[in-house]
Amino acid sequence: MILKIAIVALCAALNRARGDSRWMGKTDEDGDGYLPGHARFYVSAAIALVAWLAGHSVTISALVGAAFLVWCWAPWGYLQFLGRPAPEGKMPTGIEKALLMASGGNVHVALFLRHAAVLPGAVLLFGWFGPTVAFIFAVLAIGGYELGWKYAPRAPILVGELYAGLMWGVMIVMGTAPWLA
């Protein structure tokens, strides 16, 4: 039980590390640091290792890491403001614009669609229940960001990222990967 709690907490911290590349010596998304590339690559590998520590096979663990990378690949830096004024110069990316168009301009629905990219990981870990898990994940991810904006307005993104990582940890410790068992 303690290992499962530690894995959930570790996934929360790892997702925060994915969202904030200062630990890589970078000052911005495109800046140079002492580690090359984007944090998502390092964190996806770490998530795979965490899945293995949780008891999944090497194959399932690698697939979990790949599913995490799929989930975190597209940006949501503009959407995470949930309709609040974005910092000056922060504009939606092409993907975010497409999600906003698909959602009829509703930023909450757009962020839901963005987090629905958890579907491959959810299906991998929960089989036929995966779509339901992905739906719950996406709804709770929006809730995590809203909680951050309401109760931690100085660091709302931190709260949202920790919350999403926590949910990845719960999926990893509760999922049984029925497709490959």
Integer CA distances (angstroms), 156 to 36, 76, 98, 140, in order? 27, 14, 24, 15
DSSP characters for 75-113? Answer: --TTGGGTTSPPPTT----HHHHHHHHHTTT-HHHHHHH
pLDDT in tens, the chain (181 residues): 899 999 999 999 999 999 887 877 776 666 667 778 889 999 999 999 999 999 999 999 999 999 999 999 998 999 999 999 888 888 999 999 999 999 999 999 999 999 999 999 999 999 999 999 999 999 999 999 999 999 999 999 999 999 999 999 999 999 998 876 5
**pTM of the entire structure?**
0.93
How many angstroms separate the CA atoms of 80 and 110, rounded?
Answer: 10
3-state per-residue secondary structure call for 151-179: HCCCCHHHHHHHHHHHHHHHHHHHCCCCC
Q: In the prediction, which pLDDT does 29 show? A: 60
Q: In the prediction, which pLDDT does 26 show? A: 72
Contacting residues for 122 by C-beta, under 8 A, at least 6 apart: 129, 130, 131, 133, 134, 137, 171
Q: In the prediction, which pLDDT does 27 show? A: 67
Q: Please, what is the average pLDDT of the chain?
A: 93
Q: Which amino acid is at 162?
A: L
How many angstroms separate the CA atoms of 67 and 27, rounded?
Answer: 27
Q: Are 43 and 76 in contact, with CB atoms under 8 Å apart?
A: no
Q: In the prediction, which pLDDT does 117 show? A: 97
- The CB density around residue 158, as the number of other CB atoms within 10 Å, is 14
CB-side neighbour CA atoms (13 Å) of 167: 25
User: How does pLDDT run across 98-128, given as a tens digit for each residue?
Assistant: 999 999 999 999 999 999 999 999 999 999 9
Which of 120, 126, 119, 121 has its CA nearest to residue 177?
A: 126
Q: In the prediction, which pLDDT does 119 show? A: 97
